[in-house]
Amino acid sequence: MASGKVALVTGAGRRRIGWHVADALAKRGYAIGIQYRTSAAEAAETVRHMQSQGVDSAAFATDISDEKAVRNLVKEVITHFGHIDVLVCTAAAWNSKPLEDVTATDVRGFLETNTLGTFLCCQHVGLAMVKQPEGGSIITFGDWACARPYVNYSAYFPSKGAIPTLTRTLAVELAARNPRIRVNCILPGPVMLPANLSAAEREQAIQGTLVKREGSPQNIALAVLHFIENDFVTGACLAVDGGRSIYATDSEV
């Protein structure tokens, strides 16, 4: 049974935001649980990367929209590591589709992965944390653009727009059971922009920020560390977006 700190990061198999968050936590001395759904080879490589640095790490295949699977995930992680101190929910589905082509299946798929999946992970990890005298820290991931949505993501945005409410609700529920459990939310902006974006789209995203540059995964990792380390913050949502959520591009700066 591990005696040190343990973090479970969902969606951390591939080298996206979750991977960088897991790597940052590993560098802070955390043992790392990696949740993935289909990226088995990438998750195995991530575990090897962690272990090569002397970090206790293991990967767990889970469909986070399946309640039984999430219950089993929590049991497996606790069996392996002994406890869970931090949960970071970066697993998400994201893609564009014109409104005319969106189906109920599309909407349901985003809600199941992004909303229900986040809820189930927070619920069952959180209830495990209730039994821990030291409680724990949970970080969810929303999206800055839910406040200013752009076209062709009508099925996606509702699933992420629910995350701040989910965060506040679970912050209240879990603290009522153990006041040392905190739940906070990060709203990422243009960080690790998709590789298939055109140069014009990439430049538009950058110019839509106040800092006039793309963010880095380290910016997100620093926000995660802030929420973990500041034990007087809970139920909060933090935009890490270079000011994009407050900047009207026709303003003079």
| pLDDT tens sequence across 111-145 | 999 999 999 999 999 999 999 999 999 999 999 98
| Cβ neighbours around 201 below 10 Å, total | 12
Q: Which of 7, 10, 13, 21 lies closest to 221, judged by CA?
A: 21
- pLDDT of amino acid 250: 59
pLDDT surpassing 60 at residue 12: yes
Contacts of 187 (CB under 8 A, 6+ apart): 141, 142, 143, 144, 146, 164, 237, 238, 239, 240, 241, 245
First to last CA, the chain: 54
Domains in the chain: boundaries: 6-240
Pairing of strands 86-89, 6-10: parallel
Topology at the third CATH level for domain 6-240: Rossmann fold (3.40.50)
